[in-house]
A and B are shown apart, each in its own frame.
Chain A
Amino acid sequence: MIDSGAWNGQVNLSWPARLANGDPVPAGNYTVVVEARLGQNTASASQPVRVSHGSVDTLQSLTSLPGYQYLPETEVPPQSWRPLGLAFLYTGGALVGTLGLESSSLGSSSKRELAVVGGAALVTGFVMTLRKPAPRPAAANILYNRLLRDQIARRNQDIAKENVARRQQVQLTLVPLPKASGAGPR
């Protein structure tokens, strides 16, 4: 229902061809029906029309920003001698403690036990030094990527709003159709 009322004489009615939300009606065939009633007498007339849309130049959503690119969120730390250094530190601590706490009256204690475990610690430290370090999260890159994603999301929201406005401003063309062409949406 486009309009309804009591009139006298010639009446001009307009159909904006838009939905309640402001969007244009979908393209297709429609039938315009006019019904008139005077007392017990009724009369009606109909006219099929075709609604077609002009082209809408919408904007594409962004997946990236020109000049900006996502950075890797993990990084492999540079190899360092830290594992071997720590193994030396801990083994050295045990050696110094042992030497410093040996009882003078009991003489020097056996060092083979410390050699076994300290040697294992040093070998482990050496192997860990040679091993490629495990990747670790790159906090700065993670923050950068998050900001970039937020920025792209904001830009896409603006683009979506702009596209809605452009779709609502599409040029509509109504062409009357011969009555025999059949009924479409009313």
Chain B
Amino acid sequence: MSRAAVGLALLFASPAAPAQRVTAIVGPQFALASYREVASGLRYQGSGFGGALSARYRRLSAEASIVRLTLDPANGSAATSGFTATDVNAWVAYDVATYASVEAGFIRRTADPEFDAQSVGAVRIGARSFYELGPGATVLFRANYLAAPKFSGGGHAGFSIDLGLGLDVRLAGRLHGTAGYTFQRINRKTNPGGTGEIDAPMQATMARVGVGVGF
């Protein structure tokens, strides 16, 4: 049997009973994203690749994802050049009810070139609701407050929120299909040159679709 055949056999083999053990799903993802900053004219769209990892042990679960996006000025945008963004997210959650968890984590999005867009880092605090649509298919909705955000260009944000929609479907054996949507709104305010505080909001949406292997 060839290595590829062995790999496929392992991939589609049914996992062992998940009772009281760590279960994890890891796999690559394709991402679509749009990003707006400061004013409606400064908008970008793009795509990229990344990976996601999720794990669960009893009531405790964790997720992490990293995506590298190439964002170009969207049609009609005032922006003249695009940039590359690296988006890192992590969550740790604890189930407080059958269908609900509280969670905390962080987000870090960096832009390259550095001054083409704001880099941001923040702590996530929030909750999520999840439900099993059917055998092996789970949908989740999350709402996170982005606390203590830091920006590469300075400033502060009194209101920052992140909404998410997630989907995990066991396709066959250990093979899962994963999808995630995030919407972020950050009400950044800045005071350039001490001339007075101005609004410089940021808004980003991202969809991640991929496959994963369960362990």
Contacts and interface: CB of A to CB of B under 8 A. Distances in A.
A85 to B, nearest CB: 10
A93 interface: yes
Contact of A118 (B45, B165, B177, B185): B165
A87 interface: yes
Contacts of A113: 32-34, 181, 205-207
A94 interface: yes
Contacts of B135: 131, 134
A106 B207 contact: no
Interface residues of B, number: 42
Dominant secondary structure at the B interface: strand
Contacts of B131: 86, 90
A109 interface: yes
Interface in B121-164: 129, 131, 133-135, 137, 139-141, 143, 161, 163-164
Contacts of A127: 134
Dominant secondary structure at the A interface: helix
Interface of A: 83, 86-87, 90-91, 93-94, 97-98, 101-103, 105-107, 109-110, 112-114, 116-118, 120-121, 124-125, 127-128, 131, 133-134
10 contacts: A90-B139, A103-B36, A105-B39, A105-B40, A106-B40, A110-B34, A113-B33, A120-B167, A128-B137, A133-B134
Given A118-B181, A134-B135, 11 more contacts: A83-B133, A98-B205, A103-B187, A106-B37, A109-B203, A109-B205, A110-B205, A114-B165, A114-B183, A116-B32, A131-B134
